Amino acid sequence: MPRRRAGARWHAEPVTSTPVAARDAVQQLPAYVPGARAGTDGRTHKLSSNENPYPPLASVQRAIEAAAGDVNRYPDMFATDLTHALGAKHGVDPSGVVAGNGSVAVLGHALQAYCDAGDEVVYAWRSFEAYPILVRLQGAVPVEVPVTPEGRHDLPAMAAAVTERTRVVLVCSPNNPTGPAVRHGELVELLAAVPERVLVVLDEAYTEFVRDADPIDSARILADHPNVLLLRTFSKAYGLAGLRVGYAVGHPDVVRPVRTASTPFGVNHLAQVAALASLDAEAELRARVDSVVEERRRLVAGLRAQGWSVPDSQGNFVWLATGERTVDLAADAVRNGVLVRPFLGEGIRISVGSPEANDAVLALAATWR
Query: Following CA atoms 232, 235, 236, 238 in sequence, which dihedral angle do they give, to the nearest 10 degrees?
Result: 90
Find the radius of gyration of the CA atoms of the chain.
22
- How far apart CA 190 and CA 296 sit, in angstroms, is 29
Q: Could you give the CA distance from residue 355 to residue 120 in angstroms, rounded to a whole number?
A: 43
Cα gap 353→359, rounded to integer Å: 9
pLDDT value of position 9 = 57
Cis peptide before 256 (omega within 30 of 0): no
Complete domains list, the chain, with CATH:
33-50+283-368 (3.90.1150.10), 59-280 (3.40.640.10)
Burial 94-117 (b: 16+ CB within 10 A, else e): bebbbbbbbbbbbbbbbbbbbbee
Given a contact cutoff of 8 angstroms between Cβ atoms, the answer to whether 107 and 249 are in contact is no
Residue 42 has a pLDDT of: 59
Which SS3 state, helix, strand or coil, does residue 352 take? coil
pLDDT along the chain (369 residues), means of 10: 51 72 76 62 87 94 97 97 98 98 98 97 98 96 98 98 98 98 98 98 98 97 98 97 98 98 97 98 95 98 98 98 98 97 97 98 97
CA distance linking residue 302 with residue 52, whole number of Å: 21
- Cβ neighbours of 337 (radius 10 Å): 15
